[in-house]
Structure 1
Amino acid sequence: MNINLQSLFNSLWPLNRSLTGDGNRETLRILSEVIPLKIYEIPCGTKCFDWEIPSEWNVKEAWIKNSKGEKIIDFSINNLHLLGYSEPIHKIISYDELKKHLYTLPEQPDAIPYRTSYYQKRWGFCMSYTQYLTLSPEEKYEVYIDASHNTAGSMTVAEAEIKGNTNKTIYITTYICHPSMANNELSGPLVICKLFHLIKEKILNPQYTYKFLFMPETIGSIWYLSTHKDEIIKNCLSGIVVTCIGDEAPFTLKKSRIGNGILEKCIEYLLETSHKPYKLYDFFPLGSDERQYCSPGFNLPFCSLTRSMYGQYKEYHTSLDNKDFISFEAMNKSSEFLFQCIQTVEYNATYINTYPYCELQLGKRGLYPTLSAPNARTKTIDAIMWILNYSDGEHDLLWIAQKSKIEFTVIKEATELLLQHKILTCWRN
């Protein structure tokens, strides 16, 4: 299936996403048209470890009018204008009272900041600092927020699965809780939707199961872990949080706390051998949902992959993180890179050399030149020698590729030749 990422982006961009609400439902409904999602509603008030699903928040209208009745801030124009989870209000107030509820970025005067107050009741508006300076201390302002907080509502989450030959699972996760942000929000869902179809269409008999999770950040992953604890501990082979992956910056890999997940090892290897710039971070307990999956009680091998990492680009959590900041070509390349990583995971395995005593006579099998000559040895022959020596049940193909500095594609080709001649047997995946 050919997914038009730009068209999908345009459909999702106007929606007011948050931890809960109709914007999230509509987001998942639209995504379900391109990926077979199972959508679940989790009742508000549901306990999950030390947390609780908050009330469902929906907004009909929100604005500020000046004394002439002119709307100077309007949620319908940009939903970043409203503080997330604002309480309803309709009141005429002074400038001094209003400015207590306004959020700006003086250091980025033309940007609207993104601010939320999920777990503390308050109301507020966000505006550019340039616009803030036009407010008059002499005026009265009418503020109006038509918002509801429904304790009988729910949090909407979704999951898609590609079933493999084993229950060993690779979890690919992203979030759906930010309004009007392109790289920090929509790049993740778009990239993994494309990745879903690449795996589905090109890996016809997958060894592993793949689960794609779309949930609000933090509370979504905490809920998932609280309800799938035994399953994920038993079946998780590796996992990844995909976010901030839609611009043209080099890739950034943040490793898991445990640091040895097969997916992160494949990503690091492919980044290293790409001969392109990239950034690598060891785990730190800040950031996105990886901090939940890597919490000490779980300590799962969950890494994260970004381009411009959250918090490290000036457009982050502002209205400048918009369509102009991202690249749909870069998003397609992000999906293709992740697919290359998945292919490497699928093929990687540990083998046993069935002829372990001394070197095998490869010439009589057509695997080695029978006439000695300069440059007669190829990369494939070198790969065969490395594979045979380290196929001892202890070293997988990825380790051999890294140690030998031979491309994994050549290691794969050599492995297939050795399997055809029954020189190797698979020890474990």
Structure 2
Amino acid sequence: MVTQENFKECKEMIKRDLNDNKSDIRLSAGDIEEIFDELWPICRSITGDGLRDSFRILQKIIPLQLHEITSGTKVFDWEVPDEWNIKDAYIITPEGKKIADFHKNNLHVVNYSVPVDREVSYDELVNHLHYKKDLPKAIPYIASYYKERWGFCVTYETFKNLPREGKYKVKIDSSLKKGSLTYGDLVLPGELDEEILFSSYLCHPSMANNELSGPLTLAFLYNELKKIKNRKYSIRFVIAPETIGAICYLHQNKEKLQNKLKAGFVLTCCGDDGSITYKKTRQEDSLTDRVAEHVLENSNQNFDTLPFDPIGSDERQYSSPGFNFPVGVMMRTPFSKYPQYHTSLDNKSLMNFDKMVELIKILSDIVKSFDLNTTYENQITYGEPFLGKRNLFEDLNSKLSHSEIIKRRLRLLNFLDGERDLLSICEKYGYSILEVEKEINQLLEHHLIKDPRF
């Protein structure tokens, strides 16, 4: 049992264990692609063995602790559904041709389809078929988690050529029974108990940008953040099935998050060539928003911002009125804004793993910026500190004006008065918060300012 007395000792032990895990993992496009290729063939859903198999692969990169929530569990206004697993699915046409073969593309079956094994007419079959006229070569992604039904997804080209006479054999070898929902989480301890959240979802079958880019970005980000020495904020990582998984997570961790969560980001659609897009928190002027936009403005990357809207991913749950957590979304092309979204065309050809590396570095800079930002307190109550005796000033006899370094140092000392945070001063003068880190550390070392968090 963890007591008040041994809390710090336990925290240090956890920190050492996490820092020692997989320290040889590199942040490279090739390494991300390798894990992507392992995850790609798996048929995932909001429950089931495909989801667990995917978590086991991700655990090579991030040591998530997995949790199982039993079917039937009430989680706020929701209930965890029965567990779904599938072995096979296909249609045999009247001519004996096999189509909608699950083993060729797992999008061919409506996710969460109940078992079926019988013959049907064309007229009955079409009521269970899904396609996209506007993308005739694409297989759409369709799911039915909370209403029992069965169905298949085909290209519109396939649908147009189906014979209208004769009997079709339809087979879905699936099971839907009591089981559990799986999610994974991990806290990377910092010097503060306050936390920054990174959350993504794992529940869709073989789709690349909409499904795999988020958890892969989160997993490799973990390995970058654990390298940061003297981390200030603790970092909470969550991967769960979208919507119901996030609701389960909030239900199970409500008090922890309410007591500790300082800021957060949902990661989704991180892998295409589009510009970075940041979707603001529900508050739209939170510290999460300020830091994210500041880092992006100083990143030399093209980016867009979107206002908060309760249409999207799991930010809907974190930002629901009862919680109202300051959680934004970091992505590239937003969900539903690229034509391949929720179809078989969202595949590896859409992915740019170098762009994922870029985004991970920006997310790492965001965490560093949070760590650096606070309302530092000037320790010289009256007058300007004598910087010369601390070797923090230049020889004015040889200069006509102050250097930019000295100007920056004087501005920081004047405005770090315990009322303004560092970010506001950087915004006032057009500095990147990360470029003043050296000056802040020097001022702390000389006891000219104090970090009120410690």
TM-score bracket for the superposition, by shorter chain length: over 0.9
Match of 1:234 in 2: 259
1:133 paired to 2:160:
yes
SS in 1 for 2:213: helix
- Who is 1:180 aligned against? 206
Counterpart contact for 2:107–2:206, Cα < 8 Å: yes
Letter in 1 for 2:452: W
1:9-408 → structure 2 map (5 Å cutoff): 9-150=36-177, 152-201=178-227, 203-371=228-396, 376-408=401-433
Q: Partner amino acid for 1:247?
A: D
The 2-side partners of 1:31 and 1:14 are apart by: 14
Bigger mean CA offset, 50-59 vs 90-99: 90-99
Q: Output the CA distance in 2 between the equivalents of 1:103 and 1:379.
A: 63
How far apart in 2 are the matches of 1:261 and 1:399?
13
Letter in 1 for 2:184: A
**Counterpart-to-counterpart distance in 1, 2:400 and 2:37:** 55
Offset of 1:88 from its aligned partner? 1.1
1:372 CA displacement: 5.8
One-letter code aligned to 1:178? H
Offset from partner CA, 1:360-402 (integer Å, 9 cap, x none): 3434443333326777433322221221121111211112111
Q: Which moved more, 1:382-391 or 1:4-13?
A: 382-391
- C-alpha separation in 2, matches of 1:153 and 1:23: 13
SS, match of residue 426 in structure 2: helix
Residue aligned with 1:394, SS? coil
The match for 1:410 among 403, 424, 435 is 435
Secondary structure of residue in 2 paired with 1:266: helix
Whether the 8 Å contact between 1:250 and 1:278 is mirrored in structure 2 is yes
Contact 2:376 2:449 in 1 (8 A): yes
Matched letter for residue 248 of structure 2? W
Question: Which one-letter code corresponds to 1:97 in the other structure?
Answer: E
Unmatched 5+ residue regions in structure 2? 1-23
Secondary structure at the residue paired with 1:252? strand
Residue identity matched to 1:324: S
Which piece of structure 1 moves more, 342-351 or 241-250? 342-351
Provide the C-alpha distance between the structure 2 equivalents of 1:374 and 1:165, rounded to a whole number of angstroms: 42
- Please state whether the residue corresponding to 2:100 is helix, strand or coil: strand
Instruction: Determine the C-alpha separation between the residues in 1 that align with 2:285 and 2:370.
Output: 13
> How far 1:406 moved relative to its partner?
1.5
What residue number does 2:18 align with? none
TM-score (norm 1): 0.96
State the shift of 1:12 in Å: 0.5
Q: Could you tell me whether the CA contact under 8 Å between 1:352 and 1:427 is conserved in 2?
A: yes
Tell me, which stretches of 5 or more residues in structure 1 are unaligned?
Answer: none
Identify the residue that residue 9 of structure 2 maps to in structure 1: none
State the alpha-carbon separation in 2 of the partners of residues 362 and 227 from structure 1. 52
Residues 425 and 115 of structure 1: CA distance in aligned 2, closer, same or farther (over 3 Å):
same
For 1:290 and 1:183, the matched residues in 2 are separated by: 18
* Inter-partner Cα distance in structure 2 for 1:275 and 1:197: 24
Measure how far apart 1:144 and its partner are. 0.7
* Residue identity opposite 1:2 in structure 2: I
Q: What is the Cα deviation at residue 229 of structure 1? A: 1.2
Aligned counterparts of 2:397 and 2:121: Cα–Cα separation in 1: 92
Residue 2 (1) aligns with residue 25 (2): yes
- Tell whether the 8 Å contact from 1:383 to 1:410 is kept in structure 2 after alignment: no
Report deviation, 1:280. Answer: 0.5
Q: Distance in 2 between matches of 1:164 and 1:129?
A: 52
Q: Distance in 2 between matches of 1:57 and 1:410?
A: 51
- Aligned counterparts of 2:350 and 2:404: Cα–Cα separation in 1: 42
> Does the Cα contact within 8 Å between 1:189 and 1:214 map onto a contact in 2?
yes
The answer on whether the counterparts of 2:261 and 2:325 sit within 8 Å (CA) in structure 1 is yes
Q: Conserved in 2, the CA contact under 8 Å of 1:251 and 1:308? A: yes
TM-score normalised by L of structure 2: 0.91
Instruction: Provide the secondary structure at the position in 2 that maps to 1:228.
Output: helix
Cα distance between partner residues in 2 of 1:370 and 1:34: 51
Offset of residue 409 of structure 1: 2.9
Could you tell me which amino acid in structure 2 is paired with residue 244 of structure 1? C
Tell me the secondary structure at the aligned position of residue 350 of structure 2.
coil
Quote the Cα distance in structure 1 between the aligned partners of 2:139 and 2:229: 46
Residue-pair matches, total: 427
Instruction: Kindly state the Cα deviation for residue 277 of structure 1 after the two structures are TM-superposed.
Output: 1.8
